[in-house]
A and B are shown apart, each in its own frame.
Chain A
Amino acid sequence: MVNESLSILDLVINASAVVQAVMAILVLASLVSWIMIFQRWFTLAGISRNAIQFENDFWSGEKDLRQLYFELADHAHSSVGIESIFSSGFKEFTRSKQEGLDAERVMENVQRAMRVALSREEERLETHLPFLATVGSTSPYVGLFGTVWGIMNSFRGLATANQVSLAVVAPGISEALVATAIGLFAAIPAVIAYNRFSAQVEVIMNRFEAFTEEFSSILHRSILES
């Protein structure tokens, strides 16, 4: 009589080695993807908060550009996000101006420097997002593989059993389905987080690009005035 209650731990422990391996991989994937999710969450929130604050400072007009630049350089930690775009642009601007290049060449150098900084920032924003996308798209299949394997085995067991009943196959199928459940458990948050974070990265990048344009036009105007 198979009437002992099947707890989820029993299901996992009694599963075959392949199914157990699949489950372990999926649990690991889920764990790592959640680490990434939290890490991205904090980082992106920090970067966009920082950008808003910096833009407020920048447009308030209380400090001139040189003052802002030295304030950022004084910070112990390396500047991130919008600050690093600003510093690299301004650094290039002062250097080119000291070399006595004409306005067009100075602006070209400044824009190139800021473009480099921008792409570096984009890279920084998008770290771990490919991992989340991979987990989101593959872990249901990995789970499904575990399930198919488990069901295959339990039907193979059915072939040799002389008294066929639902109770013979049901535990095996139940075990196998746990793999799909874990796969979905890993995949759903990863997909949601991936979509959310890539939208957020896009918003932040738009903000950075707008700032870059505005900043270069300000620098252009100042070089023409001097």
Chain B
Amino acid sequence: MRVSFTYLVPSLLAVILHATVLGLVIANWSEAAPTQPFGDELFYIKANLVSENPHKQKEIQEGRSIKVEQAAHELTSFDVPTHSREPDTPIAVKDTYQMDRRKDFLPLNSETAGEEVLDPVTKRLIKLEKPLMILGFKEENGRMAVTDNEKTQAYISQIQRDIVQNWSRPPSARNGMQVQLRVFLVPTGEVIEVILEKRSGNAAFDRSAVLAVTKAERFLVPSDSRKFEKNFREFTILFRPEDLRL
């Protein structure tokens, strides 16, 4: 009787101690686990179909890499201190950039037609830019400078334009179709692999999306390897035509 008692209390204490330690370890494990370096959900490139203009394509191809370099440079050279920057300034900056881009998409007769002709295209472009901005800000973790983020945005929109240019939709494409690709790049910007993450259900549409990326072959990516690893090593693209009538 006495022997059982002298061991009963220690046994209970030992079991309680082990249970507590195990509980603490399990409870705190998730914080100790390594986090994914790039957020899968946050980083999306939405490739909406904006404009098809075969005549202008060549000029865009030539001018584009210089343009983005310039744009990225322009965005960094803003010497407004970060703390005094208004939250809506990036959008304003974006808009000046938009003006540049809008010219690329001008129909050939736009010089004579004036502003009214441009409006539908411009609206669509701005609409397209909005989710990107939001996504970009979500990704920002407070410490990152705003200019860095904008630079990233410039690269993102350039990649997006490259893809859209190479995208020829099949006739069976419909509004609301959606295909999601995962693209893997090497630091020089070349595409090494494209994976279909979510199919639309229409094989021809899926194929056209994959082809749009593979045809682009090479994207302009940041030369800073840290930024490249963070956002451009692999990313997700969502293809969704929204301008179709059907």
Tell whether A pairs with B.
Answer: yes
A residues whose Cβ falls under 8 Å from a Cβ of B: 3, 5-9, 27, 30-32, 34-39, 41-43, 77, 185
Out of B10, B11, B17, which one reaches A42, CB within 8 Å?
B10
The 3 closest A-B pairs by CB, nearest first: A38-B10, A34-B14, A39-B10
User: Which listed residue, B17, B26, B36, touches A9 by the CB 8 Å rule?
Assistant: B26
Give CA–CA (A9, B25) in the complex, Å.
10
Q: Please, which residue of chain A has its CB at the minimum distance from the CB of B26?
A: A8
Q: Which of B1-9, B96-104, B133-141 contacts A (4 or more CB under 8 A)?
A: B1-9
Residue on B nearest A27 in the bound complex, by CB? B18
User: 23 interchain pairs (CB within 8 A)?
Assistant: A3-B36, A7-B33, A8-B26, A8-B29, A9-B26, A27-B18, A30-B18, A31-B14, A31-B18, A34-B10, A34-B13, A34-B17, A34-B18, A35-B7, A35-B10, A35-B14, A38-B10, A38-B14, A39-B6, A39-B10, A41-B10, A42-B10, A77-B2
A9 to B14, CA, bound (A): 21
Q: Cβ of A43 and Cβ of B6 under 8 Å apart?
A: yes
Most B CB contacts (10 A, CB to CB) among A38, A43, A77, A185 go to: A38
How distant is the Cα of A32 from the Cα of B18 in the complex, in angstroms?
11
State whether the Cβ of B204 lies closer than 8 Å to any Cβ in chain A: no
Name the contact of B25 in the complex, choosing from A8, A34, A35, A42 (C-beta under 8 A): A8
Which residues 15-72 of B sit at the A interface, judged by CB distance below 8 A? 15, 17-18, 21, 25-26, 29-30, 33, 36
CB atoms of A6 and B33 under 8 A apart: yes
CB distance from B182 to the nearest CB of A (A): 10
Provide the main secondary structure of the chain B interface: helix
Bound Cα distance A7, B17 (Å)? 21
**A193–B10 alpha-carbon span in the complex (Å):** 14
B14 touches A5 (CB 8 A): no
Contacts of A185 in B (CB 8 A): 21
* Minimal beta-carbon separation of A85 from chain B (angstroms): 21
B29 engages A7 (CB within 8 Å) = yes
**Which residues of the other chain, B, contact A3 by a CB distance below 8 angstroms?**
36
- Name the A residues within 8 Å of B9 (CB-CB): 38, 42
Chain B residues positioned under 8 Å from A31 (CB to CB)? 14-15, 18
Chain B residues near A7 (CB-CB < 8 A): 26, 29-30, 33
Known contacts A7-B26, A8-B25, A43-B6; is-contact A38 B15 (Cβ 8 Å)? no
> A8 to B7, alpha carbons, bound, how many Å?
31
Given A3-B36, A30-B18, A43-B6, also A35-B11 (CB < 8 A): yes
Q: How far is B14's CA from A39's CA once the two chains are assembled, in angstroms?
A: 10
| Complexed CA–CA distance, A5 and B31 (Å) | 11
CB distance from A30 to the nearest CB of B (A): 7
Cα A201 to Cα B145 in complex, Å, equals 64
Min CB–CB distance A190 → chain B (angstroms): 12
Q: Considering the chains assembled together, what is the distance between the CA atoms of A39 and B17 in angstroms?
A: 14
In the bound complex, CA of A37 to CA of B15 (Å):
12
Q: Bound complex: CA of A94 vs CA of B97, how far in Å? A: 111
CA distance A90 to B7 in the complex (A): 32
Binary CB contact string for chain B from 176 to 190 against chain A (1 if under 8 A, 0 otherwise): 000000000000000
Once the chains are docked, how many angstroms separate the CA of A35 from the CA of B6?
10
Given contact pairs A5-B33, A38-B13, A43-B6, enumerate 14 new A-B contacts (beta carbons under 8 Å).
A3-B36, A5-B30, A6-B33, A7-B26, A9-B26, A31-B15, A31-B18, A32-B14, A34-B18, A35-B7, A35-B11, A38-B14, A42-B6, A185-B21
